[in-house]
Amino acid sequence: MMIKCVPLGAGQDVGKSCVIVTVGGKNVMFDCGMHMGFQDERRYPDFSFISKTGNYTQAIDCVIVTHFHLDHIGALPYFTEICGYEGPIYMTYPTKALAPLMLEDYRKVMVDRKGEQEQFSVLQIHQCMKRVTAIDLRQTIKVDADLEIRAYYAGHVLGAAMFYVKAGDDTVVYTGDYNMTPDRHLGAAQIDRLEPDLLITESTYATTVRDSKRARERDFLKAVHTCVAAGGKVLIPVFALGRAQELCILLDEYWERTNLKVPIYFSAGLTMQANVYYKLLISWTNQKVKDTYVTRNTFDFKHVTPFERSQIDAPGPCVLFATPGMLSGGLSLEVFKHWAPSDANMIILPGFCVAGTVGSKLMSGKPTKIDIDKRTQLDVRCQVQHLSFSAHTDAKGILDLVKHVAPRNVVLVHGEKLKMVLLKNKIATDLGIPCYDPANLETVEVESRCLVKMGISKQLLKAPVNQSIIQQATAVLPSAAEMAKEMNPVALPDAQRQLQTVHQGQQLPHVRAGVPVEGVLIMEDSSRIKLIHPSEVESVLGVASHGMSFSCMCPMYLAYLELLSVRTEEATTALEPMTSSAILHLIYLHLVESFGEGILEEKEESIQGKSIHIRVSPETSSHNLAVAKGYHLQGTDIDGGGIPALVLACDWHLEDDALANRAISILQMLKLKLS
């Protein structure tokens, strides 16, 4: 079956992440974000793509939100409360707890400060969140009978998760945003080798390979310290949750260590409130924070105090964390307008800035004038620092993740177009995995594994173990061992050990890897497909099997036997006195020499093994021996019209044809050796 993947947002772009995946007949929406760079209808994903009639509940089987950033969840209240989606929504506990804060903050900024028309109300945010099912990490949730989802730790922000979706036999992993290195309050992303049919990964830093985190932190602290020491003010625009906590921990610890008294402010309310949540959600942080929360909760900051709007123009140095990030509006933009004109001050942009925001304008080059909006232009004299503190993985991390998860196909989203192409090529060539970077509303189709499920008989499942012992013991092992000996003398004991373990586990159906089996596949009219052991065919199909067997005569001349007796130490008595059973024994020894022990055995005047029987033909009389000896002494027994000392009668069943032919050819080979 085909798996379809359409980004409604974040296709060759960052912002309004929203990817629709059709997998195993189910439609799953990953993330439902908004674009921070747009103020018009382009800020939301184009939901009309999903359903022309607007019946989204029917069209989408479930919505999965990876984390609480607005570009991943911003459009959710709009989608549920205004577009009317009523189906299931899943997110992790922290995301469910923190998302309303983010949404409410955004709503306030838009409505109160920008005077825009309200997109959704407080009530609608709460109604929306009520529909959400919170899930725990690694917990397998059954959305319905054929649809399973599971969250993995993604590290990006508190509660960020990657999602594994299994519909029928088809599997998809959607990473959301993730970070492959642990930071001060979060761990690194963790996921299993899931080998999904499709991996959809973010690619924010598709080409960047970042230096060590320690160096970045040192730069950050140095810049802040230098600025405040000179009496300047430092503005750090952040989102209330995520980097804000990380940088607060960093600064708080530094202030403690260096005994600095310069105030650190946090733009009121939200972040203080956020810290309460962080304390409840300790189990989602990293090990170090978890280990110390009893004695000292990392989120109780000593040096951080709330900020009042009246303090904007207060004299003296300070550090201010102001929301929102990217200087997209609100307090951070307001403070920026006040502080930017002074060259003593500093703006630190700690993360990625979406195109269209003031933050991204600051980052491109070194502008001295910035257009805040159509009417306002601002002189920028302050220092502008950009420090990559985004908790996104870098290019190496993305490649590591792809390698680790081992998908059959990769789709890149959430990145910049040109950089994504480079990464796409790298994945395709270096890892050999087909990779796509669809633009918004562009469909990617990949093929899934299409496993066929069928019944299997117990007899067949038990067979491979027994069968493999026999096969390895007969043909495979000696030759394989010979090969191994030539190539690598150490490998031999390994092969033998393997054989032994198979022996020990004879009754165990724990077949681990690639054991050859032979079965018969039966398809009845409408019922299931079943695989049975060949020996069961008779009863299942109701037919009588037709056996095939062979026999042949194999003359043994005295010359052969002499050859054998010379080579076989114990037969130094040569051929005197000679009985047919003594000759048979000689032949047996010869065969064992090339077959190894355990396959053929001497029994009742014959050599037997599986269905093979080698006997002295009744036509051979003891008289033959004497006559043959006469010819032999003349040297004419083989080509001079002489008679063989005895004739071996061999017979066997078709199943053992190969083995029998090999035995006979060994005997006939003697002739060649003579000449």
Partner 1 sequence: MKLTALSCQEHLEEDPVLSCHLLEICQTRVLLECPLDLSVLAIFLPSFQSKRKSHTDVMSASLSFLKENSGQVLIEGEPWYKTAELGLVEVALLDAVVVSNPLGLLGLPFLTKNPDFSAKIYMTEATAKIGQLMMEELVNMHAEFIQVHGRSRDGQLPSWLNVSTLDTLPAILRDSIVGRSLAGRSNWHLLYNKADIRDCMAMVHRLHYGEEANIDGCLKIKPSSSGLGIGASNWTISGARRSVAYIAGSLVTANSVKAFDFPALEGSQILLFGDVEFADESSTISPVGAPTLSSERGGNRGSGEVSGALRPDTTASDVRPQVAAVCKAAVETVRRGGSVLIPSSPFPILLELLDEMAVQLASVNLTDIPMKYISPAAEEMLAYGNTVPEWLCPSRQEKLYAGEPLFGYVDLVREEHLCGFKALHSADLQTVWQEPCIIFASHWSLRMGPAVHLLHRWRHNPLCLLILIEQSLDVELILAPFKPLAIQVLELPVQSRLSPKEVISVIQKVQPQLTLVPEFLLHKKLEATESNHLLSYRTGCTVRVPHFENQLEVQMSAELALQVQPKPVKPSKVAAALLHADLWSRDGIWSLQPASMAKCSGDLLPGLQSFQYRWGQVNVTALLTALKDRGLFDIHIQETASEEVGNEHFTTGDLKLEVETAVVEIRSPSQAWIEIRPNSSHIKADDPSLRHLIAAAVHSVLNSL
Chosen residue from 276, 406, 439, 633 binding partner 1 by CB under 8 A = 276
Q: Does 281 bind partner 1 (CB under 8 A)?
A: yes
Please list every residue from 343 through 362 that binds partner 1, using CB under 8 A. none
Kindly state whether residue 664 participates in binding partner 1, applying the rule CB under 8 A. Answer: yes
Residue 214 binding partner 1, by CB under 8 A: no
Does the footprint of partner 1 cover residue 491 (CB under 8 A)? no
> Which residues within the stretch 154-173 sit at the binding site for partner 1 (CB under 8 A)?
169
CA distance 165 to 149: 4
Min dist. Cβ of residue 36 to partner 1 (A): 25
Active site residue 41: no
Site for partner 1 in 511-570 (CB under 8 A): 511-525, 531, 534, 537-538, 541-554
Q: Which of 202, 482, 602, 605 is catalytic?
A: 202
b/e 72-92 (16+ beta carbons within 10 angstroms → b): bbbbbbbbbbebebebbbbbb
Alpha-carbon distances of 455 from 25, 33, 190, 512, 537, rounded to whole Å: 24, 44, 35, 19, 15
Q: How far is the CB of 278 from partner 1 (least distance, A)?
A: 10
Nearest CB to partner 1, comparing residues 137 and 421 = 137
* Binding piece for partner 1, criterion CB under 8 A, among 30-38, 236-244, 406-414, 655-663: 655-663
Q: How far is the CB of 524 from partner 1 (least distance, A)?
A: 5
Instruction: Please say which residue, 418 or 515, places its beta carbon nearer to partner 1.
Output: 515
First to last CA, the chain: 64
Please tell me the distance from the alpha carbon of residue 149 to that of residue 64, in angstroms, as a whole number.
Answer: 9
Residue 78 φ/ψ region, left for φ over 0, alpha for ψ in the -120 to 50 degree band, beta for the rest: alpha
Query: How far apart are CB 508 and partner 1 at their closest, in Å?
Result: 5
Positions 95 through 154 that interact with partner 1 (CB under 8 A)? 96-97, 100, 129, 134, 136-141
Shortest gap between Cβ of 26 and partner 1 (angstroms)? 20
Distance CA 35, CA 296 (A): 38
Q: Are 262 and 231 in contact (CB under 8 A)?
A: no
At residue 15, the 3 state secondary structure works out as coil
- The piece of 196-204, 270-278, 377-385, 495-503 that touches partner 1 (CB under 8 A) is 270-278
Look at phi and psi of residue 193 and say left if phi exceeds 0, alpha if psi is from -120 to 50, else beta.
Answer: beta
Distances in whole angstroms, Cα of residue 522 to Cα of each of 452, 529, 542: 14, 6, 12
**For partner 1, the closer CB: 349 or 591:** 591
The answer to whether residue 374 forms part of the interface with partner 1 (CB under 8 A) is no
Judge residue 524's burial from the number of C-beta atoms within 10 Å of its C-beta, 0-12 exposed, 13-18 middle, 19 or more buried: exposed
Please report the beta strands in 65-139, taking only residues with DSSP state E, as ranges in sequence order.
89-92, 132-135
CB of 662 to partner 1, least distance (A): 9
- Near partner 1 by CB under 8 A, which window of 355-363, 402-410, 474-482, 583-591? 474-482
Q: Does 623 bind partner 1 (CB under 8 A)?
A: no
Residues 443-462 that bind partner 1 (CB under 8 A): 449-458, 461
- Min dist CB 147 to partner 1, Å, is 15
Rama region for 312: left / alpha / beta (φ>0; ψ in -120 to 50; rest): alpha
Tokens representing 220? 């950050």
Number of residues that bind partner 1 (CB under 8 A): 90
Residue 573 is classified by DSSP as T
Choose which of 121, 226, 258, 283 interacts with partner 1 (CB under 8 A).
283
Is there a contact between 189 and 178 (Cβ–Cβ < 8 Å)? Answer: yes
Interface residue with partner 1 among 210, 613, 629, 671 (CB under 8 A) is 613
Q: For residues 384 and 362, what is the distance between their CA atoms, to the nearest angstrom?
A: 7
Q: How far is the CB of 134 from partner 1 (least distance, A)?
A: 7
Dist. CA 76–CA 56, nearest whole Å: 13
Query: DSSP secondary-structure letter at 441?
Result: T
Strand duo 304-307 + 264-267: pairing? parallel
**Which lies closer to partner 1 via its Cβ, residue 430 or residue 601?**
601
Per-residue binding string, partner 1, 221-260, x by CB under 8 A, is ----------------------------------------
Verify binding: residue 655, partner 1, rule CB under 8 A.
yes
Instruction: Give the residue with the Cβ less far from partner 1, 276 or 314.
Output: 276
Q: CA-CA distance, 606 to 30, in Å (whole number)?
A: 73
Residues labelled catalytic: 202
